[in-house]
Amino acid sequence: MSLDEVQDVRTQDAAATPDTPAAPSKPGAWAALRPLLLRMHFYAGLLIAPLLFLAAATGLLYAGSWQAEKIIYSDELTVSRVGESTVPLSAQLTAARATVPDGKVVGVWPAPDAEATTRVIMEAPGLAEGQTRTVFVDPYTAHVNGVLTTEGDALPLRAWLSEFHSSLQLGEFGRNYSELAASWLWVVALGGLALWIGRRRSRKALLVLPDRAATGRRKTLSWHGAVGLWAVAGLVALSATGLTWSKYAGENIGRVQDGLGGATPSVSAALAPGSGAGSDEHAGHAGHGMPEGMEMPAAPAAADIGIDKAVAAARAAGVTHELRVTLPAKGNGYVVKEQDKQLPVHLDSVAVDPADGRIIDELRFADYPVLAKLTRFGIDLHMGKTLGLANQIALGALAVAVMFLVFWGYRMWWLRRPTKDRTLSAGRPQPRGAWRKVPPAVLLPLAAVTAAVGWFVPMLGISLVAFLVVDVVLGAVAARRAA
């Protein structure tokens, strides 16, 4: 929701029809606050809307990448024929190592269903940070179906689109664009919602449905407001979850979450000194998604039951859905985690002693703090994992809605231009000085909250200050010309 509401009272009165009679604003805080909100909404929509459009367009591509990679990489992801029984995981690891002899196995993802291949995750020379070499092995024959460079669970197409969505493939500098868009999305959405609800209308149905009888700018306004109303909850959710892994606001959110005891817990794979595959006292591995820094020991110091018995021990402990296995490093045991994020989620994990298959630590998703659960659900919904195809369709619909809202906003800005001749002109914002009409009892708390939010979400605060400086300079120039 952006530029539509930006119009002065005289424009509204002139556009009124017998179906929507114009009326003076009611006295009170809202009547004083509305012009200020209109002005902010105008500048935010005008200047931030291109970033929102870009984020929506790249997000739409990412939402579709889940299904696209199933088609493009079907040879690697699926077996040619479902067999009667599978070969041991150890044999599948042997085939993968033979295919990538210079690779170092760091994890194994057993086939999650009868038609899927096993993924053997390797670190290998020549890869960029965060990348791994994944070998896809037929679990029935140990035949290698292919090798791809991956990032986490993302295959090349989705990995590229994910980076394109978050940084436009411009590295750390490019991440500023997505954080700026996420920082303003909830402000523009909620501000537009308040302005849309605060409008006077003769029929309540026009709040939630477009006015089909309207024409011109009022028709565009009707579609803009109604679609924005339906989309606002999803847009605020996308903004909040997107900020959780942003560079600046994400750090503040993480500190608050940790301070409230909502940090995501982790299973400990550390072995007692003198036992298992080593005797040092390294801390346990967190086990989040793709393992990092976990290496196969060159020469194990003790007996290892092997991956097949380790997985069997984990299954006996109730860890059974869509497994991801981290192999033991020196001083650590096996970590076996569930990664089934579709409802109902299965995210339990256990650590297994490589010497005897004993469970040395376990962590159930039911024991996660509430904030950690909400963070997990929010991020997975944002990425399209929790509800599968339905989740991805919903994300695509929200992305399309944002693009239309931006288009309608700019169209209304153009239609509000003061002349109809061939001169270049556009709609004007609400006149300056609206804040002077806001009662101090409302203005002071509003300023305090704005300052606090601007500090907590730095990209929002910095850009808001920039808007204010530009506005003051333009006002001074206009005053000098008028004088």
Is 432's pLDDT higher than 90? no
- Taking the model in full, what pTM does it have? 0.84
- Give the three-state DSSP class for 358: coil
Contacts of 148 (CB under 8 A, 6+ apart): 73, 76, 133, 134, 136, 155, 156
Angle at Cα 338 formed by Cα 254 and Cα 393, nearest 5°? 75
154/165 Cα distance (integer angstroms): 14
pLDDT score at 245: 87
Question: pLDDT band for position 162 (50/70/90)?
Answer: very high
Sign of the CA dihedral running 146, 150, 152, 158: negative
**Chain centroid, CA 131 distance in Å:** 20
Kindly state the average pLDDT of the residues 16-43: 65
Phi, psi of 154 (to 5 degrees): -90, 130
* pLDDT tens-digit map of 224-268: 999 999 999 999 999 999 999 899 999 999 999 999 999 999 999
At residue 31, the pLDDT reads: 80
Tens digits of residue pLDDT in 314-359: 999 999 999 999 999 889 999 999 999 998 899 999 999 999 999 9
Q: How far is it, in rounded angstroms, from Cα 84 to Cα 82?
A: 7
CB 52 within 8 A of CB 184: yes
Residue position matching structure tokens 């192999």: 327
Residue with more model confidence, 17 or 440: 440
- CA 283 to CA 287: how far, in whole Å? 12
Which two structure tokens, joined as six digits, stand for 40? 């902010």
Supply the DSSP symbol for 366.
Answer: G
Sign of the alpha-carbon dihedral angle for 90, 96, 101, 104: negative
- DSSP letter string, 25-78: PPSSHHHHHHHHHHHHHHHHHHHHHHHHHHHHHHHHHHHHHHHHHHHHTHHHHB
Instruction: Work out the pLDDT band at 299, boundaries 50, 70, 90.
Output: very low
Lowest mean pLDDT across 109-113, 355-359, 389-393, 418-422: 418-422
For residue 313, pLDDT beyond 60? yes
* pLDDT tens sequence across 265-280: 999 999 987 665 443 3
Average pLDDT score, the chain: 86
pLDDT score at 419: 58
Q: Phi/psi of residue 435, each to 5°? A: -65, -25
**Residues with Cβ within 8 Å of residue 389, at least 6 apart in sequence:** 66, 67
Residue 18 has pLDDT above 80, yes or no: no
pLDDT greater than 70 at residue 420? no
Read off the DSSP letter of residue 116.
B
Nearest CA among 195, 196, 198, 232 for reference residue 211? 196
Residue 475: pLDDT band (50, 70, 90) is: confident
- The rounded distance, in Å, linking the Cα atoms of 174 and 263 is 28
Please give the sequence-ordered ranges of beta strands (E in DSSP) within 68-201, or none if there are none. 104-109, 118-123, 132-137, 144-150
The predicted model gives 88-101 an average pLDDT of: 97
Cα-based distances in Å from 326 to 36, 68, 310, 335, 413: 55, 28, 10, 5, 55
